[in-house]
Structure 1
Amino acid sequence: MANFNLIVSTSRFSEEEAQDEILDLLDMFGDPDAESEITEIKGLLLAQTALDPFEVIEKLKELIASEPWEVRYILRVLPVERVVPTELDAIRQAARDLAVAKIGNNESFRITVEKRHSALESIEVIKAIAGEIESKVDLENPSWIVLVEIIGGEAGLSVLRPEQIFSSVIEKRK
């Protein structure tokens, strides 16, 4: 799936249930035509929705707050703003474009790289992106996270606030 805008994780061997669940939830949120693909990586799915992926995260949090039993198989959902080939220059450019548009001069950031099925080194990606962003780094409590999710030949990128990541476990504890 080349144009995904959500990365969904679940426990191993629950991929089909999680796929049904995310598609049902996206339909409930207003996108009956959403698509999903189970990847070759255990516990990982990709989804494409016409909805704003950040709004999907908010709707999931609201749903958990009112009806926690509605989310049984989905563990985490990450919004994706841009998908590029897993090449250092493409990742650097996309991260820079997203960061410049969002991160203010007085705000901090952290780069998080999660890679699967790629020979690219995480530290290479971090160094390439860090050189493009002039704001200060804060690894403990950043204003923004530059998220790079490498899945084989494709990389999904987002610049998001820490609270814009959905974790069903964390939300259910609240």
Structure 2
Amino acid sequence: MLDEFNLVVATYRQRENDCISELWFFASEIGDKSLDASKTGLPSLVVAKTSLDPEVFTEKMREKVLNNPWFFRYILKITPVHVTVPATVEEIERAALSLATAKISPSETYKVDVHIRLSELRREEIIDAIASHLQNKVSLEEPDKVIVVEVIGDRAGVGVVKPSSIISIEKLRREARKLRGRSQSEGEEGSPSPENSH
């Protein structure tokens, strides 16, 4: 597994290689010629390192899915992170607080989202270590920013991102369908009736 990664990607079981190919193809399309990706040793989970800002990468994915809902066949979810650190509570706390200071303004709300795999670390311990130092209000439903912690074995990816930067392909497909339905109905309202169009 890559020691340094800034994208954590969920896929189907036994489709990890197809997922990596899809990441490479999309990366080259948006100008990232040096994306690196690897399996994690866990089924359905891949990590990657883009040379772009990871949030820019996922925002471009969002645009792609909204315009072409079936472009991605193997990527299910993609989460950007900003740094990779040893998976200890102390290192995760240090990284998260440093990013939070830079990326969360005093008026913004936040939530901490922790996923732990192949590790004995406890989710509550990590959340407490980070939240106990922050003065901002917590919003679990509609936070302005999400403090992301992705623990995989002895490495942890940490990021502070907008909720919209965490991409669920299925949710976006539903959003795309809604947008299409809305634009079609608006088009029908605005279009002339057949008998008046000659």
TM-score normalised by structure 1 residue count: 0.97
Indicate the residue corresponding to 1:96 in structure 2. Answer: 97
Indicate the residue corresponding to 1:73 in structure 2. Answer: 74
Indicate the residue corresponding to 2:192 in structure 1. Answer: none
More strand by share: 1
1:69 partner SS: coil
1:145 partner SS: strand
Task: Write the distance in 1 (CA, Å) between the matches of 2:165 and 2:68.
Answer: 20
Indicate the residue corresponding to 2:147 in structure 1. Answer: 146
Counting only pairs closer than 5 Å after superposition, residues 1-174 of structure 1 correspond to structure 2 as: 1-174=2-175
Gap runs ≥5 in structure 1: none
Q: CA deviation at 1:34?
A: 1.1
Task: Write the distance in 2 (CA, Å) between the matches of 1:12 and 1:137.
Answer: 34
Q: CA deviation at 1:49?
A: 1.3
Q: CA deviation at 1:69?
A: 2.4
TM-score normalised by structure 2 residue count: 0.85
Gap runs ≥5 in structure 2: 176-198
**1:107-135 CA deviation, whole Å, 9 max, x = no partner?**
11111100000001001101101112111
Contact 1:9 1:76 in 2 (8 A): yes
Q: Percent identity?
A: 37
Contact 1:53 1:80 in 2 (8 A): yes
Q: CA deviation at 1:140?
A: 1.8
Task: Write the distance in 2 (CA, Å) between the matches of 1:104 and 1:62.
Answer: 26
Runs of 4+ in 1 over 2 A off after TM superposition: none
Contact 1:11 1:73 in 2 (8 A): yes
Name the amino acid aligned to 2:11: T
Q: CA deviation at 1:100?
A: 0.8
Q: CA deviation at 1:68?
A: 2.2
**1:8-37 CA deviation, whole Å, 9 max, x = no partner?**
110111111111101111111111221110
Moved more, 62-71 or 155-164: 62-71
Contact 1:92 1:132 in 2 (8 A): no
Task: Write the distance in 1 (CA, Å) between the matches of 2:74 and 2:8.
Answer: 14
2:76 partner SS: strand
Q: CA deviation at 1:85?
A: 0.3
Task: Write the distance in 1 (CA, Å) between the matches of 2:103 and 2:67.
Answer: 31
Q: CA deviation at 1:3?
A: 1.3
Aligned residues: 174
Name the amino acid aligned to 2:27: L
